[in-house]
Amino acid sequence: MTFQLLKTLHIVCVAGSYGLFFLRGVWSLTDSTIMLKRWVRIVPHVVDTLLLISAAGLAYMLGQYPFVDAWLTAKIIGLLLYIGLGFAALRKGLKNSTRLLAWLAAQATFAYIVLVAITRNPLPW
């Protein structure tokens, strides 16, 4: 597979992952029954798995790796933070105000990862 094709897949998954996380946050915080639908439980995991597989493929093809190249290290740390905040945002047991904050912080983290990707700089501002 060419680099450009894999990068396109990565970016499509980035958009899908964000869109689905945004919607799941809205649905979860408003107690929507859409959250119980089968596809809502499955599709985000498929998209996130493809996002990670394409990420690994891109890093390999570029010959740049996390913990070697700072911008990819920043992306991994950002990704872990995004996963943790996303987990908190969608967790029923927590207070709604905490979940809302986690949902917003997860989106800020996501924006940071995108900026790091575009600039290839861990300090993209």
14 binds ligand HEM (CB under 6 A): yes
Pick the closer one to ligand HEM by CB: 5 or 30. Answer: 5
Closest CB 125 distance from ligand HEM, rounded Å: 16
66 binds ligand HEM (CB under 6 A): yes
The first and second tokens of residue 1, run together, are 């597979």
The tokens for 73 are 């290290």
What's the CA gap between 91 and 115, in Å, rounded? Answer: 27
In angstroms, give the least distance from the CB of 21 to ligand HEM.
Answer: 9
Complex with ligand HEM: residue 37 or 65, whichever CB lies closer:
65
| Burial class of residue 3 in the structure, from the number of CB atoms within 10 Å of its CB (0-12 exposed, 13-18 middle, 19+ buried) | exposed
How far apart are the C-alpha atoms of 27 and 94, rounded to whole Å? 15
Q: Is 11 a binder of ligand HEM (CB under 6 A)?
A: yes
The residue from 44, 110, 122, 123 that contacts ligand HEM (CB under 6 A) is: 110
